[in-house]
Amino acid sequence: MIRKEALETLAELQKKMYAYGVAMASLTLDADTVAPKDTAEGRGVALGILAGESHKLFANKEVGDLLAELDAAKDELDPTVRRQVEVLKRDYDRMSRVPAEEYMEYAMLRNQSGDVWHKAKEKSDFAMFAPVLEKLIACTRKFAAYYDSTKAPYDALLNEYERGINMEYLDSFFASLRERIVPLIHEISKKPQPDDSFLKKEYPIAKQREFSDYLMDVIGLDRSHCTIGETEHPFTLNFNNKDVRITTHYKEHDVSASMYSVIHESGHAMYELGVSDDLQYTCLAGGMTMGTHESQSRFYENLIGRSLPFIQAIFPKIVEFFPEQLEGVTAEQFYLAVNRAEPSLIRTEADELTYPLHIMIRYEIEKQLFGGTLEVKDIPETWNRLYKEYLGVDVPDGKHGCLQDSHWSGAMFGYFPSYALGSAYGAQMLRNMEKDFDVWDAVGNGNLAPVSAWLREKIHKYGGAKESAELVRSACGGAFDPTVYADYLVEKYSKLYGVEM
């Protein structure tokens, strides 16, 4: 017999954790958008305390007892509450192993290191960032043991971002992918490149802002629940399923940079806005894995956004925004230009085909850092060597090399593989979606409503109510099969470049 009070306490607890999450998210959003430059210290004090309070709220014996009580009676719980108990218990068992001071220390460290990384990146000075990075890694290694001491540290971290994933799995995933795309990239390199000079003309930022609004409308975002801001690095932040923010970064001489980051972040936002109302203010409201999240963002960005039917559908409108810049350019030429595949230095600007190689390099380095076979001071050398080996490019400096991503400064070690996994999930979901309705007829008419309805039904609405593996299986129409992604890339790019593989 389940006590009514136990269920109420469970709901209350989750609501409080939501409130702390919102508070910390708001401070972070502020820091990244409008906060004055030299304000990290005072914000760090506040964030450290809020993280500590939120931790104490959860990691205490009463919560442990409550979860044990509900877990013991789990067969009587309704499925959503049962899942909440399952997720919270998993978190509890893990979190209760983290001393409150260490938790706060970790939060403050991550908050401060963003600033150091920023300055180091600006100056391309890795030595400036190295001491902080060492601390971050040491701290994260300790946390990895708290998460799961039976696993190798990096496996424990990978499991945080995509449950069930480990190095063995990823080694094979990346190997099979590399085997297919490296020869393709090699063949493509012999072919002439499509002209993309019109993308690099002057695109006034005020006009690009209007264009972003249009793109968000096309994706189907309800603007009364989602705004767009501007940050150095684009991101999506959700407060709840009625309040999501995306950001972008405009470049005056590259219209596609912001165009595709807006579509990418809109994919994340669609996910968060699509979560069922009845999961709000619970741990299931935002409990998706990074892999499933990236499957949605990269679905919109690449599978839809860089497809010919989509470009054809919106091209007349793009020309309305930028008539001079695109004079004489056809939809097909625009399509070729935004799909130009070419080894490059910056991950976020990489094309769909070479992108996974950027991920593999980061994966390799993180694996070695946590495996103890690479020291922080040697990161630049290894980074540069791998870029030469995998992509054939010479890294000129830290800004265009190992200092380019913010992830490490936020201690998000183990996150990067989610991007590649997400892309692979997405490709398979698309194959499955195509069985249900004529995707390309809808997209070709600029109508993404059936696409988002399908994704909402198969994925979004569940929030964290299902395990990622289950979600992926159901949306993919079967077990996850990475060859679908490789097939998709090979098919798309051999056709684009007229290459036989």
As a whole number of angstroms, the distance between CA 429 and CA 407 comes to 27
| Closest approach of a copy of itself to the CB of residue 215, in Å | 17
| DSSP conformational letter for 278 | G
CA count, 13 A, side-chain hemisphere, 92: 24
| Closest approach of a copy of itself to the CB of residue 41, in Å | 7
CB under 8 A: which stretch of 38-46, 140-148, 256-264, 418-426 binds a copy of itself?
A: 38-46
| DSSP conformational letter for 179 | H
Buried b (16+ CB within 10 A) or exposed e, 359-373: bbbbbbbbbbbbeee
Q: Phi and psi dihedrals of 49, rounded to 5?
A: -70, -45
Which residues, in sequence order, are CB contacts of 162 under 8 Å at separation 6+?
Answer: 289, 290, 291, 417, 418, 421, 468
CB under 8 A: which stretch of 11-19, 157-165, 369-377, 466-474 binds a copy of itself?
A: 11-19
| DSSP conformational letter for 194 | P
Sign of CA dihedral 208, 212, 215, 217: negative
Element (H, E) at 356: helix 355-371
The residues in 223-282 that bind a copy of itself, with binding defined as CB under 8 A, are: 223-227, 229, 239-240, 242-245, 280-281
| Closest approach of a copy of itself to the CB of residue 230, in Å | 10
Q: Which of 1, 4, 42, 197 lies at the binding interface for a copy of itself (CB under 8 A)?
A: 42
Residue of 160, 265, 294, 366 with catalytic role: 265
| Closest approach of a copy of itself to the CB of residue 135, in Å | 23
Residue 168 appears among annotated catalytic residues? no
As a whole number of angstroms, the distance between CA 365 and CA 308 comes to 36
Whose Cβ is closer to a copy of itself: residue 141's or residue 461's?
461
Q: Which of 15, 119, 186, 495 lies at the binding interface for a copy of itself (CB under 8 A)?
A: 15
CB under 8 A: which stretch of 29-37, 190-198, 345-353, 405-413 binds a copy of itself?
A: 29-37
As a whole number of angstroms, the distance between CA 294 and CA 267 comes to 8
- The yes or no reply on residue 289 touching a copy of itself (CB under 8 A) is no
Question: Total residues contacting a copy of itself (rule CB under 8 A)?
Answer: 43
- The yes or no reply on residue 23 touching a copy of itself (CB under 8 A) is yes
Q: How far, in Å, are 267, 320, 375, 440 from residue 138 at the CA level?
A: 34, 53, 12, 49
Whose Cβ is closer to a copy of itself: residue 37's or residue 435's?
37
| Closest approach of a copy of itself to the CB of residue 311, in Å | 29
Binding residues for a copy of itself, per CB under 8 A?
15-16, 18-20, 22-24, 26-27, 29-30, 33-39, 41-43, 45-50, 53, 223-227, 229, 239-240, 242-245, 280-281
**Hey, which residues are catalytic here?**
265
